[in-house]
Amino acid sequence: MVADAGNGRMNMPLAVSVAGLKREYPGPRNVAINAVDSVDMDVRAGEFLAICGKSGSGKSTVLGLIGGLLAPTAGTVIVGGKVVSGGLASKPWSRGDGIGFLFQFDSLLSGLRVIDNVALPLLIAGTPRASAYSQARDWLARVGMAERWDARPTELSGGQQRRVGLARALITQPGLLLADEPTADLDPEAADAIASILQTLKESGTVTIVIVTHDMNLAACADRIVHMSAGKLVAGGAFPSETLYRKQIVTNEKAFEPAPAGMSADGAVEASFGLLPAVGWYLSWITLAACCLFTLDLFLGKQEKAVIEDGKFRMQVAEEMAMQDLRSDIQDVTQLASGEFELKLFMQNYRPERSIYVLAPMPRLFYQSGRSWKALPVVPVELGQGGIVEVTGEKGQRVFRFSFPPEQYDQLLGCYAHMRVSNVLVIGEHSDGSGALFERQDSYYIYLKDPSKSDAAVRLANGWKSGANVPPWLAMPSH
């Protein structure tokens, strides 16, 4: 096991214990890719651990294994004394009981307001609506987003979305917070705000924090840093206590617009009339109206409950279709005579007896350069690819074109550009988009061969044998 940091936590119980952890993916030429290879690691309760390393080193995969989002090929993961043994199929253990997730990319539901997104975990857990929204309001205040409670995620900056995501991750008061690149793609000021919140959480000692990051300024906030390379844990140890961040988040930070007056616990805006001279006269009318409303509420209560239960069922159906029945991935990447590349994505319905409709995806493409992701324009081959499409049991192909990165790119594999395809899918069961909808976000990673490099140059750059096959592109597991 990797030695644990000091900071008074040596005698604390283990929050996470990982032993012999492995995760393999099938690779080209029947050679398995070891995304995580025999990792042993312990994390003490209340500790702040940072996992660092290059892209593709297996950091995010380890985080997914700890959180139960992935099933290990071998090894064990114990969180809070409970064995996490089956990934998404695991029944005895529930991630919602004690783990909060902060994802690298946008994970807020765009159709909901900020306060709805934050309250959602409590509502799903059965918390009464008033209590869930009251707690959501408190957590938004803690991360400096109280004045944007009624905004949609698309109206927020990247840093503000990340803060809302952090509030949602913490509203269930988890014992363990897992954060995947929490400051990635953020400007320095927004990154400072996120780091300051995590620093405050660390000092409270109530949450065990494990983050994956390239940001060494953020890593400096941690009690301990471990490094990964090629799926292995290669180094670890305590970090000096003189960290770079000592800021406290300013909870009354000026918003883009004033806070609406009278926000109630359930997120609604109430009107405020104040006291009037004829309060007695008005009170009698209000009492009469209240009696009428109460009678009407009794009459409609049963019908409203039935509608709510039906809505919950429809949402469960949409989520099941999105996460279990729908498969989407890269089918092929080919170079054209013009020098452009064609990206072919497919969607397939694993349960064709039940119709699945998807708002036609328009993927975004990025390549890694200087430890950051830079966007590349993507153009659909057919203009008619928009709208809502039905996904059948056959692989439905959608084709997009793009050009190779125009400037220097990171070469994690010699002469190959490291690229990410981000795809947002909105799934429902009706062709007109009505009913419950579920938003799913996918990221696919590939290495794409530089067309200006010969096969001989590629073999030389990677130390491959003469005559070895040089694939035009390689699919990589999500990391």
pLDDT digits (tens, 9 = 90+) for 117-172: 888 888 877 888 889 899 999 989 888 888 888 888 888 887 888 888 888 888 88
Residues near 440 by Cβ (< 8 Å), separated by ≥ 6? 322, 323, 326, 424, 425, 426, 427
User: pLDDT tens digits for 64-109?
Assistant: 888 877 788 888 888 888 887 544 444 444 555 578 888 776 578 8
User: What pLDDT, on a 0 to 100 scale, did the predictor assign at position 326?
Assistant: 81
Is the domain of 339 the same as that of 233? Answer: no
Q: Using pLDDT thresholds of 50, 70 and 90, give the confidence band for residue 309.
A: low
Q: What is the mean pLDDT of residues 318-341?
A: 83
User: What is the widest separation between alpha-carbon atoms in the chain?
Assistant: 96
Domain stops at, among 209, 238, 267: 238
CATH no. for residue 68?
3.40.50.300
Inter-residue contact 108 to 165 (CB < 8 Å): yes
Domain identity same for 196 and 339:
no
Supply φ then ψ for residue 34, to 5 degrees: -90, 90
Which of 296-305, 308-317, 416-425 holds the top average pLDDT?
A: 416-425
Last residue within a domain, chosen from 190, 208, 238: 238
The answer to whether residues 133 and 23 belong to one domain is yes
The CATH number of the domain holding residue 448 is 2.60.40
Round to whole Å and give the CA distance between 218 and 191: 8
441 found inside a domain:
yes
Mean pLDDT calculated for residue range 169-179: 87
Domain that holds residue 193: 14-238
Same domain, 337 and 460: yes
Measured at the alpha carbon of residue 390, what is the angle toward residues 386 and 396, in degrees to the nearest 5? Answer: 80
- Answer yes or no: is pLDDT of 448 > 90: yes
Q: According to DSSP H, which parts of 125-233 are helical?
A: 129-142, 158-170, 188-204, 216-219
Distance CA 229, CA 449 (A): 22
Q: Hey, which of 3-12, 183-192, 452-461 has the most confident mean pLDDT?
A: 452-461
The pLDDT of 250-256, averaged and rounded, is 43
Residues 225 and 328 reside in one and the same domain:
no
**Do residue 232 and residue 328 come from a single domain?**
no
Say yes or no: 41 and 170 in one domain: yes
If pLDDT is split at 50, 70 and 90, which confidence band does 320 have? low
Instruction: Give the percent of the chain with pLDDT over 70.
Output: 72
- For 204-313, strand residue ranges (E) read 208-212, 224-229, 232-238
Say if 115 falls within a structural domain. Answer: yes
Q: Is residue 267 part of a domain?
A: no
Q: Assess if residue 263 is contained within a domain.
A: no
Residue 312 lies inside a defined structural domain of this protein: no
CA-CA distance, 166 to 25, in Å (whole number)? 30
pLDDT class of 455 with cuts at 50, 70, 90: very high
| Averaged pLDDT, 172-176 | 86
pLDDT at 12 (0 to 100): 64
The whole-number pLDDT of residue 344 equals 92
User: Residue 249: pLDDT above 80?
Assistant: no
217-248 pLDDT tens trace: 888 888 889 888 888 888 654 444 434 443 44
When divided into structural domains, the chain yields a total of 2
**293: pLDDT strictly greater than 90:** no
195 and 333: one domain? no
Question: pLDDT tens, 259-276?
Answer: 445 444 444 433 333 333
Of 221, 238, 255, the residue at which a domain comes to its end is: 238
Whole-number pLDDT of residue 350: 80
- pLDDT digit string, tens, across residues 196-211: 888 888 888 888 999 8
Residues 467 and 340 in one domain: yes
In a domain, 262, yes or no: no
Residue 273: the pLDDT is 33
Is the CB of residue 374 less than 8 Å from the CB of residue 367? Answer: yes
Interatomic CA distance for residues 74 and 9, integer angstroms: 29
The reply to whether 232 and 338 lie within a common domain is no
Query: Are 193 and 55 within one domain?
Result: yes
* Within-domain flag for 285: no
What angle in degrees, to the nearest 10, is found between the helix axes of 114-124 and 129-142? 130
Q: What are phi and psi of 72, to 5 degrees?
A: -70, 150
pTM of structure: 0.51
CA dist 384 and 403 (Å) reads 21
- Domain match, 80 and 199 both: yes
